[in-house]
Structures are given as structure tokens and as C-alpha cells.
Amino acid sequence: MAKKFRIEIAADECKGCYRCLAVCPKKLIARGKELNIQGYFAVTVAEPGNCIGCGSCFYQCPEPGAITIYEEE
């Protein structure tokens, strides 16, 4: 059975640089429409469960905890 992954965005930690947008092979990440506490339009994930766990977005993101990718055990 294929491993399942889930992507989670800590919206208040996103600074809206959008480096993660283009690198997602599944195009799961989009610009959000709401300002976070830092005043940025944080990214959102429409279908977090479709994540394939490649980590590209995580390593593009300059913030330590804005993106977390979980793996089902």
C-alpha cells in the first residue's frame, strides 16, 4: 500500500513569499485570501491529503515551521 502524506500550513507563520507554489508537483498550494497576524496573505492547501511527501515545498520555505508534512504510520 502506498504511503499517505498530509501537508499542514501554519498560516500565521507564512510570510507570503510563495516560493512553495511553483514547486509542488501536485499544485496543491495556492495564495490565500486572508491576511495572517503578520499581515501576509498566507498560502492555503486545498487538498492536503493529496500530498506525495516530496518535501519540495518544505525546503523552499524559509520559515522553520510554516510547512509541516506528516506521514501516516
Partner 1 sequence: MSEKVKFGRSKVFFDTFHRRPGPIKKNMHYCPGCGHGILHKLVAEAIEHFGIQENTTPIAPVGCAVFAYYYFNVGSISVPHGRAPAVGTGAGRANPESYVISYQGDGDLAAIGFNEFLQAANRGEKMTVFFVNNSNYGMTGGQMAPTTLPGQKTTTSPYGRNPETEGYPTPVCEIVNSLTAPVYIERVALTTPGRVAAAKKAVYKGIQNLKERKGFSLIEVVAPCPINLKMSADQVNEFIEKQMLNYFPLGCLRDKTAELPEGKLPPPVIRDEESVREILFPKRNENAVAADFRNTSDIFDQELRVKIGGFGGQGVLSLGVMLANMARLRNFNVSWMPSYGPEQRGGAACCAVTVSRKAIPSPIIDRGGNLLIAMTQAAFDKYIGELREDGILIYDHTAVKLPELPAAMKTYGIDALDIAGNQLGNSKFANSVLIGALAAVLAKNGMNEADQADFSRAFAEAVEEKFGKKPGAVEANINAYNAGIAAMK
The contact set with partner 1 (CB under 8 A) reads: 5-6, 10, 12-13, 15-19, 21-23, 38, 40, 53-56, 58-73
Give the nearest distance from C-beta 40 to partner 1 in angstroms: 7
22, containing H or E segment: helix 19-23
Residue 55 is placed in which grid cell? 518535501
CB of 33 to partner 1, least distance (A): 17
Q: How far is the CB of 30 from partner 1 (least distance, A)?
A: 14
Nearest to 67 by CA among 10, 20, 17, 12: 10
